[in-house]
Amino acid sequence: MKQEINLVVSPEEAANENRLKEIVAKQLSIPLITISFFKILKRSVDARSRNIKINLKVEVYTGAEKPSPLSYKMNYPDVSSKEPVIVVGAGPAGLFAALQLIENGKKPIVIERGKDVKSRRRDLAAINKQQIVNPDSNYCFGEGGAGTYSDGKLYTRSTKRGDVNKVLEIFVAHGADEIILVEAHPHIGTNKLPKIIQEMRQSILNAGGEVYFNTQVNDLIIKENAVKGVICKDLIENTSKEFTSDNVILATGHSARDIFELLHKKNILIEGKTFAMGVRVEHPQALIDSLQYHCPVSEVQYKREFLPAASYSLVHQALGRGVYSFCMCPGGIIAPCATSPGEVVTNGWSPSKRNNPYANSGIVVTIEPEDYQKYQKEHGALAGLRYQQALEQMAWSAGGNTDKESWTGQVAPAQRLQDFVNNKLSSNLPDVSYQPGISSAPLNNLLPPEIGMRLQIGFKEFGNKMRGYLSNEAVIVGVESRTSSPVRIPRDHATLQHPQVKGLYPCAEGAGYAGGIVSAAIDGQKCANAVAGKLRATSF
């Protein structure tokens, strides 16, 4: 017999399989010996009070019955001779779109500006150690997209958009730990994602799909308001390539400014949109653990034997705008994520064990079109992008980077948290995880008032919600600017095609329709299904 039950247990009980089995038997009022097997289906931590609890959903088998072995292997058909569909971008949206196309019997041709996931590592080392930004291969561009080397958090609220479990199961099928199917806030980790991404690429190739790296799309072939393919530049051979298809999924990510500029130049409709910008704040992880787990720092080590590195989620309305935490990375590292020389951009990531001594999070402010109005006349729909770019260039200069010949340098401007709130320049700075280094700067004056003032209000309120959060042990590092795209590429609600260009499918974060790995993956699947539905309809 199989049944599901919900349990609320202590962290120590949740970590002890024998004790957990006893609790299961007691709740079901059955002898312990009758339980043949049990497994945890879902797990979450409730740390709202000092008496921390673990919520579990458990599947229990009694008598002779046991579960059948589960297999998440994907059996993809051979599509080598099927109709091709171009997928621009090999981030989560592009990869999941490609796999979904294969499921639908279509041949994906994946075109990626950056390098394969293994080769990207050299360029990430260069930006961290030598402070050199490769505009074609960095934390944002390359196989797996921004998520591969910036955390791999899989938590999403996009459950109404598609099948989240299917996305997670595809990750498991390609090597992710099955624990991501259980945890309320699943996380793969930057150290493990590259191998999984390689396996996903291999599935595409094994099924007859094609994948091209170091290949930048620099034009769309459009005839009679319908896409017919793309023209690309081979960044290694410095030659031109042409790929033809009546269907192009544009899954280029939120930092592909060249694509926005291409569409704008060709008078293909794009729109400015609301996005968010701010800073990244870093605390000692032990401090966040003590605040969230309601214990002195001296007790944190014991708590962490049974509990993960603590995270937080904070939000406040300041002067009519949202101020909120974004991409919180417990036990994490702040990373340099610029995509062009002469800019400083911060993001965060965590390894799978989340065992680094720092906790960092983006703290960002909602940016409305009125904030970038001064760029509107000259740049039109690209006004928000130019506003974003100007703030990143300010951060480069404020960090003390001065080499305007090579534009090397990724030192970031920083300020202790209380000093920022109190409009005080920090005379010294704590150690941080940001490898290129930080330099003291008056971010309270350098950030535009629409951001800086709201951040100050938000941090004060966060200090009221989490006593001890507003501390000079914490440091803010500028700037966090790539939370989402400042541009939307519109699409028809029913067909998912661009309203002006038949066969062009704007997709996921780069088009303004997703925010994170899972939601991007789901949107990639939706676009692939839309393409397949169109092709089926036109084949009759």
Out of 3.30.70.2700, 3.40.50.150, 3.40.50.1820, 3.40.630.10, select the CATH number for domain 2-62.
Answer: 3.30.70.2700
In degrees to the nearest 10, what's the CA dihedral of 166, 170, 173, 177? -80
Is residue 187 within 8 A of residue 309, CB to CB? The reply is no
Each of the 540 residues of the chain gets a pLDDT tens digit; together they read 899 999 999 999 999 999 999 999 999 999 999 999 999 999 999 999 999 999 999 999 998 888 877 777 788 999 999 999 999 999 999 999 999 999 999 999 999 999 999 999 999 999 999 999 999 999 999 999 987 876 667 876 655 567 899 999 999 999 999 999 999 888 888 788 999 999 999 999 999 999 999 999 999 999 999 999 999 999 999 999 999 999 999 999 999 999 999 999 999 999 999 999 999 999 999 999 999 999 999 999 999 999 999 999 999 999 999 999 999 999 999 999 999 999 999 999 998 889 999 999 999 999 999 999 999 999 999 999 999 999 999 999 999 999 999 899 999 999 999 999 999 999 999 999 999 999 999 999 999 999 999 999 999 999 999 999 999 999 999 999 999 999 999 999 999 999 999 999 999 999 999 988 999 999 999 999 999 998 887 765
Q: How many whole angstroms separate alpha carbon 185 and alpha carbon 312?
A: 12
| Alpha-carbon distances, residue 266 vs 87, 198, 377, 500, 526 (angstroms) | 20, 35, 18, 12, 26
Q: How many whole angstroms separate alpha carbon 272 and alpha carbon 368?
A: 9
Residues 6+ apart with CB under 8 A from 71: none
pLDDT at 47: 95
Q: 84-271+486-538 belongs to which CATH class?
A: alpha beta
* Global confidence as pTM: 0.94
pLDDT at 472: 98
Is residue 143 within 8 A of residue 204, CB to CB? The reply is no
User: Where exactly does CATH 3.30.70.2700 map onto the chain?
Assistant: 2-62
Q: How many whole angstroms separate alpha carbon 437 and alpha carbon 338?
A: 15
User: Where exactly does CATH 3.50.50.60 map onto the chain?
Assistant: 84-271+486-538
